[in-house]
């Protein structure tokens, strides 16, 4: 069979074309096994805050408060979450 048509299954997260050949390569790698320590070492994610797992809390902000929060975060070159955490610590007396 000359010039067998390549099937594509979309793209990987890195943008590489997902073909039968690439899938076969991934299968071979999986069958050989993975170095779990290496995978966990290069794993990315949000950095931990505090001593334990963080929880996500939802609050409603009126437009003026949201604008003030955004302005403060921009001025301090921080995220809005960081500004909120600092404000809560200050209000609750937990430095």
Structure tokens at 26: 């991934």
Whose tokens are 């069958």? That residue is: 31
Kindly tell me the sign of the dihedral angle through the C-alpha atoms of 30, 33, 36, 40.
negative
Q: What are the residue boundaries of the structural domains of the chain, listed by start?
A: 8-41, 63-92
Name which residue leads in pLDDT, 89 or 41: 89
Question: What pTM value is reported for the model?
Answer: 0.50
Please state, in angstroms and rounded to a whole number, the distance separating the CA atoms of residues 25 and 92.
55
pLDDT given for residue 48 in this prediction: 73
Give the pLDDT band of residue 76 (cuts 50, 70, 90): very high
In terms of Cα–Cα distance, which of 3, 2, 8, 12 is closest to 21?
A: 8
Residue 2, classed as helix, strand or coil, is coil
Instruction: Retrieve residue 15's tokens.
Output: 């943008």
Residues in the chain: 95
Q: What is the pLDDT of residues 27-50, one digit of tens each?
A: 998 888 888 777 776 656 677 777
């Amino acid at each position: 069979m000359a010039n067998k048509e390549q099937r594509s299954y979309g793209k990987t997260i890195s943008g590489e074309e997902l073909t039968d050949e690439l899938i076969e390569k991934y299968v071979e790698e999986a069958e050989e096994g993975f170095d779990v320590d290496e995978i966990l070492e290069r794993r990315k994610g949000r950095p931990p805050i505090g001593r334990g797992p963080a929880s996500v809390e939802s609050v409603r902000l009126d437009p003026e408060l949201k604008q003030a929060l955004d302005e403060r975060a921009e001025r301090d070159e921080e995220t809005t979450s960081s500004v909120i955490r600092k404000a809560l610590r200050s209000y609750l007396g937990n430095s």
